[in-house]
Amino acid sequence: MLFRPRLLHLPALLLIFAALTAGAALLTFRYSLMLGLADLQATGSHRLNLYATSLEREIDKYAYFPTTLGLERDVLQLLATPNPGLAQVEQVNNYLEQLNERAGSLSIYILDRKGKVMASSNWRRADSFIGEDLSFRPYFREAMDKGSGRFFGIGTTRGEPGYYLSSALADHQETLGVAVVKVGLKQLEKSWSTVEAPALVSDENGVVILASVPGWKFTTLKPLDDASRRAFDNSLQYNRQALNPLGVVELADLEHGARLVRLPRTEPKMVSVFPVAGEFVAQTQPLPGTPWNITVFSPQEQVRRNAADRAGIAGAGAAFLFILAVMLNERRRHLKDRLAAQEALQKANDELERKVAERTADLSSANEQLQQEVAERIQAERTLRAAQEELVQAGKLAVIGQLAAGVAHELNQPLAALRTLSGNARKFLARGNQETASSNLERIDDLVDRMGELTAQLKSFARKSTGTPRPVPVRRAVENALFLLEQRLKQARVVACIDLPEKDLNAWCDPNRLEQVLVNLAGNALDAMEGQPEPGLEISARRAGDRVQIQVRDRGPGIPTEVLSRLFEPFFTTKEAGSGLGLGLAISAGIVADFGGTLSGDNHPDGGAVFTLDIPVAPEDKQHD
């Protein structure tokens, strides 16, 4: 995964990053420095003890020398003798010389009570102390006053620095003089040959009298005031050395009396293995048996460097951890986002599936409902159709009923004629008039044919038709209808006027039903024209495109406006009860609609009603065009 911090958070992240890194580095630096300094202090104080002990031991080596001289009879005698002889002095001088050589000290000498040098190890040298008055030297006065003295000073004769150890020489409680051993600094410094850090010994005046760095010797730890300088000049303690300040800058006080100091750059920068300039932890302690202080400087450069190194590592570590944390966080967030997206997707998917299932269920239930509805519709339509069929049939029977009187009359006439003709024929046969008899029989045949035709027509009209469309010659339908109504037309004295195209016109319908409609329309016309002085019936047909229009027009009173709008309403009739059911036009309109046609009724501009049948032309006729 890539490390992709959100851009918005970048400045904040960088800030935290910087703060964290710097904080970790700083803390580590300080902690490490603290530990380092503590460590340094521990080492320092260890060194301090070591150096002090070795120095003390070195001094102690000589400490008993002056005292032992008080045990020497020759020495005491020399001091007790007011004007000793040369030989006596020489004897002591020799002794002191030998002792000095053995001990490795700078010089050993004896002073009388006034401070005059009576005998000295360096008696052979031209600059020998013998005869010198050293009563001004503090070590003499200290020994005289307190029995012993210690003093650091630079020799007045040879300008050699040294540590003077003095002791009063007494015989029977009487102080005769003072014995002095001067120990060279080199002797003492030898004990420091192995030191690992710069160290110095400062005397009670703050003057460096011993140092592991040669340049530090005879410098001061604190600047001297004029009074002290004058006093030193008088005592010749430092033999007019410049006594420049070492230039130690105190930086801070640490724990357990340690101080943080800076040492100035001096030449050389390094002495043996240790640096002599820079920052140090300074630790001081008094040197037992002396008024001196010993100071050890432990360089803290390394500690600082270590602390800085550790700080660097800690900073880098913190940076690494931070980046790791940010990356992990990013990864966690990324995973969370992905998980959330997955969940959202899953949820959306579930929702979709649920909706689809719901819709499917809805759809299938709707489908079922629809199917049920369709089935119900079909059932209803079937029932309706059956009812319609029944109705059509009932209508037909009603027409037949209406025709019955006419038909009976139609049949009665030929029957009567048949009776007459057959009776006459029998008579003519009995008379032997076969010719006339045969002519009568021929007429009988004609009448029977005509009766057969009528009953056949009635039978055909009355039968239940399927309603299946087929090409129907319009002329035949019109003629059949009029044939059925022949008796009524005759009675009403109406001559039907037929106006059809010469060419055969075929309509696409059921012939039986078309006849039924035409019988209905013509029957209504005859009804309407009852009692009219000039009745008239016109049946015309014509082709209009893919349609066949058949019009039935009468010369009756026409249709009143209030009746016009209710013409096709079932059971609407203006006729007396028993004469009409009000179903004729309703059934006719239904039949025509079944063929895919229309039936409309209106008043003719020249008077009378006109009904128009509009039905499809037979397909064959269409192709013939």
C-alpha 394, offset from chain centre = 82
Q: From the list 524, 535, 548, 595, which residue makes contact with ligand ADP (rule: CB under 6 A)?
A: 524
Q: Give, as ranges, the residues between 362 and 391 that touch ligand ADP (CB under 6 A).
A: none
d(CA 524, CA 353): 67
Build a one-symbol-per-residue string for 75-104: x at contacts with ligand ADP by CB under 6 A, - elsewhere: ------------------------------
525 touching ligand ADP, by CB under 6 A: yes
Name which of 609 and 617 has its Cβ closer to ligand ADP: 609
- CB of 155 or CB of 556, closer to ligand ADP: 556
- We find the least distance from the C-beta atom of residue 566 to ligand ADP, in angstroms, to be 8
Cα gap 601→565, rounded to integer Å: 10
Comparison of 311 and 559: residue with beta carbon closer to ligand ADP: 559
The footprint of ligand ADP on residues 302-331 (CB under 6 A) is none
- Minimum gap (Å) between residue 474 Cβ and ligand ADP: 20
Closer to ligand ADP by CB, 125 or 575: give it. 575
Sign of CA dihedral 557, 562, 565, 571: negative
Q: Does 481 engage in binding with ligand ADP (CB under 6 A)? A: no
Alpha-carbon distance of 607 to 143, in angstroms, equals 181
Please report how close the Cβ of residue 520 comes to ligand ADP at its closest, in angstroms.
6
Question: Restricting to residues 537-576, which ones interact with ligand ADP according to CB under 6 A?
Answer: 554, 556, 559, 563, 567, 572-575
Of 200 and 528, nearer to ligand ADP (C-beta) is 528
Q: Does 528 bind ligand ADP (CB under 6 A)?
A: yes
Cβ-contact 138, 203 below 8 angstroms: no
Q: Give the number of residues in contact with ligand ADP, rule: CB under 6 A.
A: 19
| Residue 601: CB minimum distance to ligand ADP, A | 7
Q: Is 469 or 584 the residue whose CB approaches ligand ADP more closely?
A: 584
| In the complex, minimum distance from the CB of residue 382 to ligand ADP, in angstroms, rounded to a whole number | 25
Q: Does 581 bind ligand ADP (CB under 6 A)?
A: yes
Contact between 603 and ligand ADP by CB under 6 A: the answer reads: no
DSSP letters of 100-162? HHHHT-SEEEEEETTSBEEEETTTTSTT--TT-B-TTSHHHHHHHHHSEEEEEEE-TTT--EE
Minimum gap (Å) between residue 364 Cβ and ligand ADP: 47
Q: Answer whether 142's CB lies under 8 Å from 70's CB.
A: no
Paired residues of 260 in beta bridges: 252, 281
Q: Which is nearer to ligand ADP, 314 or 586 (CB)?
A: 586
Are 584 and 477 spatial neighbours (Cβ–Cβ below 8 Å)? no
Would you say 577 and 516 are in contact if contact means Cβ atoms under 8 Å apart?
A: no
Report if residue 580 touches ligand ADP, rule: CB under 6 A: yes
What is the sign, positive or negative, of the torsion defined by CA atoms of 78, 82, 88, 93?
positive
Cβ(577)–Cβ(585) below 8 Å: no
Residue closer to ligand ADP (CB basis): 239 or 524: 524
CB of 565 to ligand ADP, least distance (A): 11
Return the number of other C-beta atoms located less than 10 Å from residue 77's C-beta. Answer: 15
Nearer to ligand ADP (CB atom), residue 23 or residue 607: 607
What is the DSSP code string of 220-241? ESSPPPHHHHHHHHHHTTTTT-
> How many other C-beta atoms are found inside a 10 Å radius of the C-beta of residue 469?
20
Q: Report the residue number, 199 or 552, with the smaller CB distance to ligand ADP.
A: 552
CA distance 12 to 5: 11
What is the distance between the alpha carbons of residues 601 and 611, in angstroms, rounded to a whole number? Answer: 4
**Residue number with CB closer to ligand ADP (80 or 581):** 581
Angle between helices 301-430 and 511-528 (to 10 degrees): 70
Verify binding: residue 284, ligand ADP, rule CB under 6 A.
no
User: Tokens at residue 318, please?
Assistant: 């913190």
Instruction: State the minimum distance, in angstroms, from the CB of residue 516 to ligand ADP.
Output: 12
Binders in 194-223 for ligand ADP, by CB under 6 A: none
In this chain, which residue has its C-beta nearest to ligand ADP? 580
Query: Nearer Cβ to ligand ADP, position 220 or 516?
Result: 516
- Tell me how far, at minimum, the Cβ of 378 lies from ligand ADP, in Å: 29
Closer residue to ligand ADP (CB): 535 or 584? 584
Kindly state whether residue 411 participates in binding ligand ADP, applying the rule CB under 6 A.
no
Q: Least distance in Å: CB of 438 to ligand ADP?
A: 48
Kindly indicate which of the ranges 156-164, 458-466, 482-490, 522-530 contains the residues binding ligand ADP, using the contact rule CB under 6 A. 522-530
Handedness of CA 232, 233, 235, 239 (dihedral sign): positive
> Smallest gap, in angstroms, from Cβ of residue 575 to ligand ADP?
4
| DSSP E strand boundaries for 474-580 | 496-499, 506-509, 537-544, 547-554
To which residue do tokens 């009953």 refer? 455
Q: How far is the CB of 599 from ligand ADP (least distance, A)?
A: 11
* Of 414, 511, 584, 590, the one binding ligand ADP by CB under 6 A: 584
Backbone angles phi, psi at 82, to 5 degrees: -65, -50
Query: Rounded to 10 degrees, what is the CA torsion of 262, 268, 273, 276?
Result: -10
Q: Cα(116)–Cα(142) distance, rounded to whole angstroms?
A: 15
**Residues found near ligand ADP in the complex (CB under 6 A):** 524-525, 528, 554, 556, 559, 563, 567, 572-575, 580-582, 584-586, 609
